[in-house]
Amino acid sequence: SAVISQKPSRDICQRGTSLTIQCQVDSQVTMMFWYRQQPGQSLTLIATANQGSEATYESGFVIDKFPISRPNLTFSTLTVSNMSPEDSSIYLCSVEGLAGGPVLADTQYFGPGTRLTVL
């Protein structure tokens, strides 16, 4: 599988500020996703990061709060805007790629996550 890295690995932020999380993959992938894992809960999909177009957001998530960029096939960013303590979570990116490549289609591979604490 591909090597997926996220920066930062963790951060502690003040209420009202914004944090941008980066996801880098060492090979080109078709799909990139962003998930959230709140304390004691399971992973929830925030959005699909589309290369060259606006991200596709799941119900309950909006672009103003979670703007996403995907400038190319190996990189994406998620910004958590105007943070509140309720945004304290682990944020994970995942990727899915072309069949026959290093990242198989129809299977998502996950990055190490970014642990965010908002005070």
Partner 1 sequence: AQSVSQHNHHVILSEAASLELGCNYSYGGTVNLFWYVQYPGQHLQLLLKYFSGDPLVKGIKGFEAEFIKSKFSFNLRKPSVQWSDTAEYFCAVNPGYGGATNKLIFGTGTLLAVQP
Q: Would you tell me which residues interact with partner 1 (CB under 8 A)?
A: 1, 30-31, 33, 41-45, 48, 58, 92, 94, 96, 105-113
* Ordered DSSP codes for 60-100: T--TTTS-EEEEETTEEEEEE-S--GGG-EEEEEEEE--TT
Nearer of residues 48 and 69 to partner 1, judged by Cβ: 48
In the complex with partner 1, which residue's Cβ is closer, 65 or 115?
115
The smaller minimum CB distance to partner 1, of residues 83 and 111, is found at 111
Q: Extract the tokens encoding 108.
A: 């998502």
Type of residue at 119: L
